[in-house]
């Protein structure tokens, strides 16, 4: 038996980086996975790698209509829905002085509105049977990153939303857990696109294994645990995955 055998897991932003790694690991552990992204060729390629346990769908997380379509397609294909991994996001640099209102609103439309919609649709779908919501936040929500003003604020929104959803579901007696995940930098296209000269080999194979940058697999291992019943008493929590960085910053 896999650790998430029989569960149906919807992962947004599954064409790349962490979302792709989540999809591969969860499918290996027995889940049926619904892979969504604005990059439809990307999720189709990941779904082909997985086979019959995967469904690939085009999905803009900021679109309420798309959420209706994706939830309906999930139930039609697999007959149930158990876990949402709100993972898709965008990143842009800019301090408070550099960030325009347009840039701020674009960021929040995806990184905040998209997660709100995901939670809203997931709670509606899960409130009778129970399930789990995993929201990808960031260390940026907990520390002060001067150069990522709008991104940090959008991840702060995800973090507070997570607590509110967890509290609501607990008060209503829904068996829905909702947790946020807070990584430091992860070696994915989101980061490598900002750092043109990055050499992954140097980052991942230094003598000290604790000195390397976080890899998508490190996050997928935590997401697998949160998606499984092994984490059944973890709810409303902020889980840092940062090799002690917050402990140093504190």
Ligand X SMILES: NC(=O)c1ccc[n+]([C@@H]2O[C@H](COP(=O)([O-])OP(=O)(O)OC[C@H]3O[C@@H](n4cnc5c(N)ncnc54)[C@H](O)[C@@H]3O)[C@@H](O)[C@H]2O)c1
Site for ligand X, rule CB under 6 A: 12-13, 15-19, 37-39, 42, 59-62, 87-90, 110, 114, 136, 138, 183, 185-186, 188-191
Q: 89 or 176: whose CB is closer to ligand X?
A: 89
Tokens 């092994």 locate to 230
Rounded least distance, CB 196 to ligand X, Å = 15
Q: 129 or 217: whose CB is closer to ligand X?
A: 217
Q: Can you point out the beta strands (E) in 26-142?
A: 32-37, 54-58, 83-86, 131-136
- How far, in Å, CA of 34 to CA of 54, rounded? 6
- How far, in Å, CA of 43 to CA of 92, rounded? 23
Q: 54 or 128: whose CB is closer to ligand X?
A: 54
DSSP letter assigned to residue 148? B
- Measured between its terminal Cα atoms, the distance across the chain in Å is 41
Rounded (5°) CA angle 168-238-24: 100
Rounded least distance, CB 205 to ligand X, Å = 19
Rounded least distance, CB 74 to ligand X, Å = 15
From its phi and psi, is residue 31 left (phi > 0), alpha (psi between -120 and 50) or beta?
beta
115 is an active site residue: no
Q: 8 or 213: whose CB is closer to ligand X?
A: 213
Rounded least distance, CB 64 to ligand X, Å = 13
Closest CA to 223 of 144, 146, 133: 133
In the three-class reduction of DSSP (H, G, I as helix; E, B as strand; rest coil), residue 186 is classed as strand
Q: 90 or 127: whose CB is closer to ligand X?
A: 90
Q: Can you point out the beta strands (E) in 101-168?
A: 131-136
Rounded least distance, CB 43 to ligand X, Å = 8
236: buried, middle or exposed (CB in 10 Å: 19+, 13-18, 0-12)?
Answer: middle
By annotation, the residues acting in catalysis are: 151
């Amino acid at each position: 038996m896999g650790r998430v055998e029989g569960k149906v897991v919807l992962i947004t932003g599954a064409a790349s980086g962490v979302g792709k790694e989540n999809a591969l690991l969860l499918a290996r552990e027995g889940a049926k996975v619904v892979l969504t992204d604005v990059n439809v060729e990307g999720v189709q390629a990941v779904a082909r790698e997985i086979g019959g346990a995967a469904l690939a769908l085009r999905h803009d997380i900021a679109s309420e209509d798309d959420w209706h379509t994706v939830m309906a397609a999930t139930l039609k294909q697999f007959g149930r829905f158990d876990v949402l991994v709100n993972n898709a996001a965008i990143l842009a640099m800019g301090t408070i002085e550099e960030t325009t209102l347009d840039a701020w609103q674009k960021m929040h439309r995806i990184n905040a509105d998209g997660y709100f919609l995901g939670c809203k649709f997931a709670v509606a779908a899960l409130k009778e049977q129970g399930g789990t919501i995993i929201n990808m936040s960031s260390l940026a929500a907990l520390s002060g990153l001067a150069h990522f003003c709008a991104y940090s604020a959008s991840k702060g929104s995800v973090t507070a939303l997570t607590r509110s959803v967890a509290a609501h579901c607990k008060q209503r007696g829904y068996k829905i857990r909702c947790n946020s995940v807070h990584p430091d930098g992860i070696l994915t296209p989101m980061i490598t696109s900002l750092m043109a000269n990055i050499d992954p080999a140097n980052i991942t194979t230094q003598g000290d294994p604790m000195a390397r940058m976080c890899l998508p697999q490190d996050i997928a291992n935590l997401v697998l645990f949160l998606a499984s019943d092994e984490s059944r008493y973890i709810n409303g929590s902020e889980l840092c995955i940062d090799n002690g960085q917050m402990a140093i910053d504190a």
